[in-house]
Structure 1
């Protein structure tokens, strides 16, 4: 997986300094843009969990299947619980969420297609950026928050603490190990795995840009 990361290093560096995330740390991000992001991320996570469960049905071993189901439960649990706490503060019920915005639909459709129609190894690689890139930006945001202390909404700090926290980093290490197992089992798939990883990294940046721009359907 390190070779995937190195090949996409420019995109990942752009993620760590994305204006949306920088504005979260310095407290200048309008709450309406953060709310848009959280609503879309909640919709994304539903499909992300489905993609993980789909891969579990295609996993080469019972252990891999159980681990994928566990990752899906994690997405359904801690991350969506964080969203639920935000929604409660905003008076939003889960059923009242909007439909997926254009880049949300693009990203989730891509992941579900890869996980359903491509070899298992390609599917696990396509989902890796949602783990690894988020941990990376979480670390960058924690470091920036320490260097540049300022007041910001508590929702921003809760988000930074989630993705910069030890529990999420442990999940990332476990998921990377799963992807590395898949690459060892199917070396011929490695180039395509790297392509899917790169595409998903691009889609991560597009997702944050979408929230910053408030992208809507025509």
Structure 2
């Protein structure tokens, strides 16, 4: 029996996902060695990302309704609310706890990721848009579970900021797992009759979003900034 579309996509990106789940940024969150500045940078960029993510989910909800998938449309819109309210509530709590100012611009990989998913959702068929957003759900759940396992292995002797534990608890928790499983089911149902050409395009979107997920944590670890042009360079231009 052929694998479900989502299983196919996951298997195609398996090597990249295996590397991502061991990303130094994520491991350092669990073992308590991650400096607070990269974490602050990350949560600000993630909040910016989530705004675009919720917009994309709502647009997919509109497209699903237009194509007769009313039940799926309702659930996807609920997931958009979850991204805007529940996930960003976590971020707002961390902002308050760590004294973070919420005003910031999107950094390079944030803009790259949001621009890519917005383009796919806005310009491609609804199935492709759904698949483009799938790694954000699925990889966060996957790494959240892996981080919970590592935290249990390390035990209570490891000290880490409570904000790190709050993040791990959110994305490794049962509520988020239910959301992810619902989204996977929606993708499989909408994609079930897709032909090989369409599935290949969707697989490409899935892999690209997996790459961008990894790069999102690279960016935080490196505290990536936009290049600045000096006065001398401006004169030379």
Following the alignment from structure 1 to structure 2, what is the Cα–Cα distance between the partners of residues 145 and 103?
A: 28
Equivalent residues of 2:29, 2:164 under 8 A apart: yes
| Map of 2:55 onto structure 1 | 50
Q: Deviations over 1:129-167 (max 9, x none)?
A: 000001110011000011112111100001000111000
Following the alignment from structure 2 to structure 1, what is the Cα–Cα distance between the partners of residues 78 and 101?
A: 26
**Matching of residue 3 in structure 1 with residue 8 in structure 2:** yes
| Map of 1:216 onto structure 2 | 225
Following the alignment from structure 2 to structure 1, what is the Cα–Cα distance between the partners of residues 107 and 208?
A: 18
Following the alignment from structure 2 to structure 1, what is the Cα–Cα distance between the partners of residues 153 and 101?
A: 36
| Bigger mean CA offset, 181-190 vs 167-176 | 181-190
Deviation at 1:213, TM superposition (A): 0.2
Following the alignment from structure 1 to structure 2, what is the Cα–Cα distance between the partners of residues 33 and 120?
A: 35
3-state SS, counterpart of residue 99 of structure 1: coil
Q: Deviations over 1:56-100 (max 9, x none)?
A: 111122112111111100101111000010111233454xx2100
In structure 1, stretches of 5+ residues that fail to align are none
How many residues in Structure 1 have an aligned counterpart in Structure 2?
Answer: 216
| Map of 1:206 onto structure 2 | 215
Following the alignment from structure 1 to structure 2, what is the Cα–Cα distance between the partners of residues 55 and 69?
A: 8
Deviation at 1:113, TM superposition (A): 0.2
Which of residues 124, 127, 149 is equivalent to 1:121?
127
| Map of 2:110 onto structure 1 | 104
Following the alignment from structure 1 to structure 2, what is the Cα–Cα distance between the partners of residues 91 and 140?
A: 28
Following the alignment from structure 2 to structure 1, what is the Cα–Cα distance between the partners of residues 98 and 30?
A: 21
Q: 1:217 to 1:93 in 2, by over 3 A?
A: closer
Q: How does 1:1-218 map to 2 (within 5 A)?
A: 1-59=6-64, 60=67, 61-94=69-102, 97-149=103-155, 150-188=158-196, 189-218=198-227
Following the alignment from structure 1 to structure 2, what is the Cα–Cα distance between the partners of residues 192 and 105?
A: 22
- RMSD across aligned positions (CA): 1.0
In structure 2, stretches of 5+ residues that fail to align are 1-5, 228-237
3-state SS, counterpart of residue 38 of structure 1: helix
3-state SS, counterpart of residue 192 of structure 2: helix
Following the alignment from structure 1 to structure 2, what is the Cα–Cα distance between the partners of residues 51 and 139?
A: 25
TM-score normalised by L of structure 1:
0.97
Moved over 6 A (4+): none
TM-score normalised by L of structure 2:
0.89
